[in-house]
Structure 1
Amino acid sequence: MMSVRDCVKALGLALLLCSGAASAKTATQVEPNTQVPVGNRHYAATGFPDRIVASPAQDAARGFGVAWRTDGTVTSPVLEWVVGGDSPDVGKVTRVTATTTALTTELGASNHHRADVTGLAPDTLYLWRVQGNGTWSAWNQLRTAGTADKPLTLLYFGDTQNKNLSHVSRVLRAGIKAAPTATLSLFAGDLVSGGDGQDDSEWGEWFAAAGWLPQETMVAPAIGNHEYFEEFEDTPQERRVLGKHWPVTFALPRNGVDAASTSTYWFDHQGVRIVVLDGTSALDLGTAKAQAQWLDKVLTDNTQRWTIVLLHQPFYSPREGRENAELRDVLLPVVRRHDVDLVLQGHDHTYGRRGEGSDATPQYVVTVAGPKQYRLSDEARATMAPVGEDTQLFQVLTIDPQQLRYEARTVTGRLYDGFELTRAADGSKRKTELTEGRIAPRDCARTETLKGRADRCWE
């Protein structure tokens, strides 16, 4: 028979084992999408300006737009700008009065402001700041696009979407460190997940994760399906509706197709024409033909040496069971006809690149920045190279009149994919693979996610 002391020791050991088991279980639980508890108002608007983001004007050498947020006490703020100098005495500023749109979310009321800065000089560093309620943002500095003969460096990120502050932040920081001279950042959509009653907190964490990137580079995002939401879900009236954050969060060029006016646009940036499409609207809202006609006109009028098309859903999907047939049937012929150089995409949370047979262009890329990771289809493994799973990536593009260099790097900075497009005097293009230092393609080693899903690698 056990003594009282032995019973106490046994009970203590049992409690210790149970505690260890509980800790182990906690360590493998699914991480929440945001780091603020439900109902927490950490990201509620105040009189201080926040969510400050610059985006290119149609001619990024001559201007840019800025969007920011405050609480409802700020109704007609201004943006101040001046040519950048070395003294803290910035000199005489130019003021631009913003337009304001009210928005109500789970965190309460807020005002979103937009100011368009015009009449600037190419390849010039400008200081600018935005106003709140008796307050100002920091002085930010941003360089306008140079002339077409100047080299350009830009960053490209796939879907961020989930766990932006905890996981995506290091990808964005790695991109900035790898390309400190970048003046432009492209995002392939699904910046946030949405639809969970915490949309405003998710946008707050996206901006927290991005840090200075939205003020020190011009940000040009494509819209993803998660920037929409399902109205009347699971009823015969179910339909896709544009989320209320998208139109007020970015100050994008207003030159898109009428059928998707807030989510399609184009701009010229240092010898490159970049056209942004709305794949969700094309697939779910019947705007594919209208977008194709608009795209055809924008590319027909193109005078730039290089062309990039940015959209969320890929023409060739690397994920099992996804086929975006209407994009391929309606929009892809326009891309081919105009010999677009790069098509940058997201949506499928894997990595994959392919071309069109032996032609150098177009090159189609799907990539992912966030921690949500899918699995590749057998078709992708047979038609794309390289491919990848279970890998967070950022991309650096360096472009001059004769050459476009593309590098995809892992979050730790390792080269995952790379190639160069070289333009000959007759306009023809040659592709050269960059293989030196490239790591081997990565596969997911997990059989299922923490939620038991075999079709994904990470939630």
Structure 2
Amino acid sequence: MTRATITTAALLLALLLGNVTAAAKAPDSAAEPNTQVPAGNRHYAATGFPDRMVASPAQDAARGFGVSWRTDASVSAPTLEWVVAGDSPDVGTSTRITAATRALETENGTAHFHRADVAGLQPDTLYLWRVQGNSTWSAWHQLRTAGTAGTARQPLTLLYFGDTQNKNLSHVSRVLRAGIKAAPDARLSLFAGDLVSGGDGQDDSEWGEWFAAAGWLPQETAVAPAIGNHEYFEEFEDTPQERRVLGRHWPVTFALPRNGVDAADTSTYWFDYQGVRIAVLDGTSALDLGTAQAQAAWLDTVLANNPHPWSIVLLHQPFYSPREGRENAELRDVLLPVVRRHQVDLVLQGHDHTYGRRGEGQGATPQFVVTVAGPKQYRLSEQARATMAPVGEDTQLYQVLKIDPQHLRYEARTVTGQLYDGFELTRAANGRKRKTELTQGRIAPRDCTRAQTLKGRADRCWE
């Protein structure tokens, strides 16, 4: 073989290897779609088998819970069964509840969503429940009711997640699993809104992937979400008639308490859970639909009647935004005074796809937290860096809270389990609260090192 032949062969081999390498890297060179469902595929179409089962707390979570689930249109008014959990496969005689049914038409066809409310339960008790489809049943699921304040056998453990929003199956699933592994005794899961992205003609498939990512968490913890702006959509977009309209999935996907303010009756609610009163607001409605005053009056009443030692407010848009260029002035002007007046302990938020925590004034409470579970990552403002600590970019997180009558412990952890932030509130006999920072094992704040996203956006760290 001549030198020229060898050189030519080597060049061809190098080109071939280069093409293989380029092909291997190709999937990483383009932004990933929000779902793993190919266009036109109806993978998440409803069937006669029950799916998208999710339990949510009743107003008194020690005495009941609600369940929502989905089937195809062949099922109307199916049954939920519940019974006290035991150790035998012979579950005994169950109680049956007939569900209310609502139809929803989506890109995946017609589906029926069903709701059943379970009441009259005992506190701090493990129950089994299952739901009916077309000549079939779901698995039996276990759910423990909340204890009564001061008499529960163990502290309340709950999980809190910021925006999941996009790429739920590919990227969010590991965050939710990490949370469950870190807090296997969690009874309650709070979500700060924007569970899906929506608005791209694949809304139902996005909800399908949210449930696929969540696994059994929605059946064996009580799920309490705030609504985000992505659970709304823009009607008559780019016209003088443009307006914000509630998405059709929200009212049927969750069986939430029906005790919200009339102006936002499907997206505001409150409930009591083992010594904590939790009030859930609709920031989008407050900012875009003129309901801030009505929500403030409602929140004032809810918090004024709180008999418990702790209070949490959950909403999507932050009172203090850590992202550059965002201001939610109406929330601060109208709703924040109510939070201050009633000395709310925690304000849990999302929306800004970064991490940031701040207190207010010299007191231990309220503590304001913004966090993100999903892969969409924004950049911090300089104001956030000056007024919040810790802050963080380019980091998927989950939060674990443990609460008893005297202590509220908060930990934010990265998806790999590292402690990113933590503090403990201690309640004295006179009701005053003291904050202790948890610094041992806490990693350094993280910054984004990318100049732009794969789509070329410099204002974000990841899509």
Q: So what's the TM-score if we normalise by structure 2?
A: 0.97
Q: Could you say which residue in structure 2 is the equivalent of 1:35?
A: 36
Shift of 1:15: 4.1
Aligned ranges 1:431-442 → 2 under 5 Å: 431-442=435-446
Shift of 1:29: 1.7
Shift of 1:26: 2.9
Match of 2:223 among 207, 219, 223: 219
Aligned mates of 1:222, 1:419 — CA distance in 2:
23
Q: Could you say which residue in structure 2 is the equivalent of 1:378?
A: 382
Aligned mates of 2:246, 2:125 — CA distance in 1:
36
Tell me which amino acid in the other structure corresponds to 2:444.
Answer: A
Shift of 1:28: 2.5
RMSD, aligned α-carbons: 1.4
Aligned mates of 1:10, 1:302 — CA distance in 2:
76
Q: Could you say which residue in structure 2 is the equivalent of 1:250?
A: 254
SS at 1:361's partner residue? coil
1:154 aligns with 2:158: yes
Aligned mates of 2:94, 2:103 — CA distance in 1:
28
Tell me which amino acid in the other structure corresponds to 1:73.
Answer: S
Tell me which amino acid in the other structure corresponds to 1:413.
Answer: G
Q: Could you say which residue in structure 2 is the equivalent of 1:50?
A: 51
Q: Could you say which residue in structure 2 is the equivalent of 1:69?
A: 70
Aligned mates of 1:18, 1:177 — CA distance in 2:
41
Shift of 1:432: 0.6
The one-character-per-residue Cα deviations of 1:311-344 (angstroms, maximum 9, x if unpaired) are 0000000000000000000000000000000000
Q: Could you say which residue in structure 1 is the equivalent of 2:121?
A: 120
Bigger mean CA offset, 31-40 vs 366-375: 31-40
Shift of 1:11: 4.6
The one-character-per-residue Cα deviations of 1:407-446 (angstroms, maximum 9, x if unpaired) are 0001111110000111111111111101011111011111
SS at 1:208's partner residue? helix
Aligned mates of 1:10, 1:337 — CA distance in 2:
75
Tell me which amino acid in the other structure corresponds to 1:273.
Answer: R
Match of 2:311 among 287, 307, 331: 307
The one-character-per-residue Cα deviations of 1:8-52 (angstroms, maximum 9, x if unpaired) are 764554344234224323323211111111111111000000000
Q: Could you say which residue in structure 2 is the equivalent of 1:458?
A: 462
Q: Could you say which residue in structure 1 is the equivalent of 2:102?
A: 101
1:318 aligns with 2:337: no
Shift of 1:259: 0.3
Q: Could you say which residue in structure 1 is the equivalent of 2:204?
A: 200
SS at 1:430's partner residue? strand
Q: Could you say which residue in structure 2 is the equivalent of 1:188?
A: 192
The one-character-per-residue Cα deviations of 1:92-130 (angstroms, maximum 9, x if unpaired) are 000000000000000000000000000000000000000
SS at 1:173's partner residue? helix
Match of 1:390 among 388, 394, 407: 394
Q: Could you say which residue in structure 2 is the equivalent of 1:143?
A: 144
SS at 1:241's partner residue? strand
Aligned mates of 2:14, 2:450 — CA distance in 1:
33
The one-character-per-residue Cα deviations of 1:175-234 (angstroms, maximum 9, x if unpaired) are 111111110000000000001111100000000000010001000000000000000111
SS at 2:402's partner residue? strand
Aligned mates of 1:185, 1:107 — CA distance in 2:
28
Shift of 1:301: 1.0
Tell me which amino acid in the other structure corresponds to 1:157.
Answer: F
Q: Could you say which residue in structure 2 is the equivalent of 1:343?
A: 347
1:297 aligns with 2:298: no
Aligned ranges 1:83-98 → 2 under 5 Å: 83-98=84-99
SS at 2:164's partner residue? coil
SS at 2:367's partner residue? strand
Aligned mates of 2:27, 2:430 — CA distance in 1:
62
Q: Could you say which residue in structure 2 is the equivalent of 1:272?
A: 276
Q: How many residues align?
A: 459
Shift of 1:76: 1.3
Aligned-residue identity in percent: 82
Q: So what's the TM-score if we normalise by structure 1?
A: 0.98
Tell me which amino acid in the other structure corresponds to 2:74.
Answer: T
Tell me which amino acid in the other structure corresponds to 2:104.
Answer: L
Bigger mean CA offset, 162-171 vs 7-16: 7-16
Aligned mates of 1:19, 1:439 — CA distance in 2:
38
Tell me which amino acid in the other structure corresponds to 2:393.
Answer: E
Aligned mates of 1:144, 1:214 — CA distance in 2:
14
SS at 1:292's partner residue? helix
Q: Could you say which residue in structure 2 is the equivalent of 1:368?
A: 372
Aligned mates of 2:250, 2:427 — CA distance in 1:
37
Q: Could you say which residue in structure 1 is the equivalent of 2:286?
A: 282
Shift of 1:359: 1.0
Aligned mates of 2:240, 2:68 — CA distance in 1:
37
Aligned ranges 1:399-418 → 2 under 5 Å: 399-418=403-422
Aligned mates of 1:139, 1:90 — CA distance in 2:
10
Aligned mates of 1:5, 1:398 — CA distance in 2:
69
The one-character-per-residue Cα deviations of 1:231-271 (angstroms, maximum 9, x if unpaired) are 01111111000000000000000000000000000000000
Q: Could you say which residue in structure 2 is the equivalent of 1:427?
A: 431
User: Given the superposition, is the C-alpha separation of residues 301 and 3 from structure 1 closer, same or farther in structure 2, using an over 3 Å criterion?
Assistant: same
For structure 2, which runs of at least 5 residues remain unmatched after alignment? Answer: none
Aligned mates of 1:4, 1:390 — CA distance in 2:
50
Aligned mates of 1:326, 1:169 — CA distance in 2:
34
SS at 1:240's partner residue? strand
Tell me which amino acid in the other structure corresponds to 1:132.
Answer: G
